[in-house]
Amino acid sequence: MDASDVESDLVNILFTEEQIQAKLKEMATQIEADYAGKELLMVGVLRGAVMVMADLARSLHGHVEMDWMAVSSYGSGTKSSGVVRILKDLDTDISGRHVLVVDEIIDTGLTLSWLISNLSSRNPASVEIATLLRKPEALAMPVEPKYVGWDIPNEFVVGYGLDFKERYRNLRDIGTLAPHVYS
């Protein structure tokens, strides 16, 4: 879906598809340097990270293993509830593995902080975070991603995996959702 398909729902476009792809290639270059000679397991956080994970993995030049987790602290609202639930756990044993958690956005950090703690208790060799977007003003928990595409203002954004009530995930760009849509 292109921005023109939903332009009345968007205040503005923050990042185009081309900018996103360039940023993911830049992140992949750093990840490859940091994990040279190591086997990497990428863990995507469903559902939002699907686009980021797929394109980030395709930007890497070596083999990479992937697994998925689904965790939720949002329900159907626009703000995190703070209560985290595992909806789908990993199929892979991460003991002794180098794990890179891939997410599309760090908002309050509540869900990701809980997830990193949970994964760290499973004895991995390392656990790091890669996120396309981070909202520094919204952080309620200290979460330190190793790889960040962009810091953005504390606005409601959609597209490229980010949704509002399961809509807009397939928007190729990332834009600020107009308040009339979610008010």
Question: What pLDDT does residue 40 have?
Answer: 97
Question: What pLDDT does residue 74 have?
Answer: 58
Question: What pLDDT does residue 13 have?
Answer: 97
Residue 136's contacts (CB-CB under 8 Å, 6 or more residues apart) are 151
pTM, rounded to two decimals: 0.92
Sign of CA dihedral 82, 83, 89, 92: positive
- Give the three-class secondary structure for 81: coil
Question: What pLDDT does residue 6 have?
Answer: 96
* Tokens standing for residue 143: 């979460």
Which secondary structure element, helix H or strand E, spans residue 30, and what is its range?
A: helix 17-34
* Domains of the chain, first to last: 18-155 (3.40.50.2020)
Q: Which of 9, 55, 103, 107 is catalytic?
A: 107
| 73 in Cβ contact with 62 (< 8 Å) | no
Question: What pLDDT does residue 11 have?
Answer: 97
Question: What pLDDT does residue 9 have?
Answer: 97
Residue 156's contacts (CB-CB under 8 Å, 6 or more residues apart) are 78, 164, 176, 177, 182
* Residue spans of the chain under pLDDT 50: none
| 84 in Cβ contact with 115 (< 8 Å) | yes
Question: What pLDDT does residue 73 have?
Answer: 72
Catalytic residue check, 5: no
Question: What pLDDT does residue 72 have?
Answer: 79
